[in-house]
Amino acid sequence: MFSQKIVSFKKRVLFILLFAFLVFVGSRINFSPLLGTENQFFTLFQFFGPIPGAFLGPVFGSIAVILSQLAEFFISGKEFTIINLFRLTPMFFAAYYFGARKGINSRIISVLIPLLSILAFVLHPVGSISWIYSMYWLIPIAIALLPKHLFNNNLLKSIGSTFTAHAVGSVGFIWAIQTTPELWIALIPVVFIERLLFASGIFISYKTLNYAFNTLIEKYKLKLPFGILFLEKAKSGSRLI
Nearest 5 degrees, angle CA 155-CA 141-CA 144? 55
Give the DSSP letter of residue 229: B
Which helix (H) or strand (E) segment holds residue 111: the answer is: helix 104-123
Amino acid 237: pLDDT: 42
Give the DSSP letter of residue 33: E
Q: How far apart are CA 204 and CA 154, in angstroms?
A: 10
Amino acid 6: pLDDT: 43
Amino acid 157: pLDDT: 94
Task: Tally the C-alpha atoms within 13 A of residue 149's C-alpha that lie toward its C-beta.
Answer: 0
Amino acid 232: pLDDT: 41
Q: Which of 107, 137, 108 is nearest to 122 (CA)?
A: 137
Task: Give the residues of the chain that fall short of pLDDT 70.
Answer: 1-11, 32-41, 81, 83-84, 216-241
Sign, CA torsion 149/155/161/166: negative
Q: How many beta carbons lie within 10 A of that of residue 86, not counting itself?
A: 16
Q: How far apart are CA 90 and CA 34, in angstroms?
A: 14
